[in-house]
Structure 1
């Protein structure tokens, strides 16, 4: 059982991890490392991994150790399991003992061969932008008591808050880059149109048509043609 007073993964810690990470994957890696260490204090070892769901297929994005990675990739090789179910149903999925659980027989048999007895799957709450889940593995049957589950849920909620911010920042950054590129392209095209107007003593509309016609005939993007014209 974990004591909340010993919890080193507060919301402020999550935000610090996010700020210090190079990207979302780096944040998830730091999160799984810290969480696995925290969950293993004073008790059996637990392994953590985060899977992202894309096109109805799960892929491991971060793991606390090579063993955690192997366990998670094993789960993701099946069409369903605790993580997929947790994401799909937006609920905590607890497997007390894989020997007694009949929800995913083939998956359970594969994990039992690796010495895993208990699994916990939890969804991250990221809105519509992305879908992800946390998996916690243990070799001890019935390892996750209600207090431990409550603490892990709190960690996931805090990580979800930080991740939602990271996803929004990434989306805004992409939009800003697209806007800057569009503005730069527009500026170069306008300059090229001005050059053509001066050279050919024509109107703006006629210069635009000249540029478009040349672009089509040469099979060159309008911006690239404008850049070449400015440089010539």
Structure 2
């Protein structure tokens, strides 16, 4: 049986994926595992910054404290973790109090008790970019060995994170599609109601709905929903694909 630490980390990540209830659960577990394995018995905070559509967000963290440290950086829209993700390069801050880059951010993060930071990019091979963020209240916490371990860890986790981002993207697309379908159904039903009430054609009913929407400054789908609700207060429109 192999005793290679890299094999052990890979097996742990595979177990985390299999045991996870959802994408968020898996990523939080990944952060906790990274914080524990790279902390070497001392507390280390870990978060994952994801950049999509020019927006930064912490998609997972080892703790609420780790999430707050990431959010401090987002308020400045720049810093080691964001740079690591954007430039796809490792950023090491041995001592926050001696770092000349990002002075305002360094003052802020120092005020939270952090002294060293290490940010390692993930390879997502797409438009999305991400970085593994590590924080410690001890200066010079992340030496060369820790840096190599963090890079190896991020490399091994990149494939899993790519899958997680892909799943999240498809889930968001499915939710958007379901919302669009529901809106279309409400509009179709509203048009039918107008046709019955006004004894007009489908085209005329749709034109009436569009003009009313513009005149009242109400979105078409919202006005359609109001018409359906007022027609039958006890009924909610359902898509034709519901079972």
TM-score over 0.5 for the pair: yes
Alignment of 1:128-139 (within 5 A): 129-138=127-136, 139=138
Supply the distance in 2 between the matched residues of 1:187 and 1:127 (Cα, whole angstroms).
38
Indicate the residue corresponding to 2:173 in structure 1: 175
Whether 1:3 aligns to 2:5 is yes
Q: Which residue of 2 aligns with 1:20?
A: 21
Summarize the Cα distance change of 1:93–1:192 in structure 2 as closer, same or farther, 3 Å threshold: closer
- Closer, same or farther in 2 for the Cα pair 1:167/1:204, shift >3 Å? same
Secondary structure at the aligned position of 1:125 is classed as: coil
Alignment CA distance shift 1:159-1:8 (3 Å): closer
What is aligned with 2:225? 224
Give distance in 2, aligned partners of 1:69 and 1:83. Answer: 12
Q: Do the aligned partners of 2:89 and 2:121 also contact (CA within 8 Å) in 1?
A: yes
TM-score (norm: length of structure 1): 0.68
Alpha-carbon deviation of 1:176? 2.1
Measure the CA separation in 2 of the matches of 1:99 and 1:180.
50
Instruction: Give the root-mean-square deviation of aligned CA atoms.
Output: 4.1
Report the more deviating stretch, 55-64 or 151-160: 55-64
Give the corresponding residue for 1:37: 36
* Secondary structure of 1:91 counterpart: coil
Higher relative contact order, structure no. (Cα contacts within 8 Å, ≥ 6 residues apart): 1
Does residue 49 in structure 1 map to residue 47 in structure 2? Answer: yes
Unaligned runs of 5+ in 1: none
Over 3 Å counting, the alpha-carbon distance change for 1:230 and 1:155 in structure 2 is farther
- Cα distance change of structure 1 residues 150 and 38 upon mapping to structure 2, 3 Å threshold: same
| Aligned positions of 1:191-202 closer than 5 A | 191-202=189-200
Deviation at 1:120, TM superposition (A): 1.7
Residue 107 of structure 1 deviates from its aligned partner by 5.8
Deviation for aligned residue 1:194:
3.7
TM-score, normalised via structure 2 length: 0.66
Identify if the C-alpha distance between structure 1 residues 64 and 126 changes in structure 2 by more than 3 Å, giving closer, same or farther. Answer: same
Distance 1:115 1:229 in 2: 58
Whether the 8 Å CA contact 1:9–1:155 is kept in 2: the answer is no
Q: 8 Å contact 2:17–2:26 — kept in the other structure?
A: no
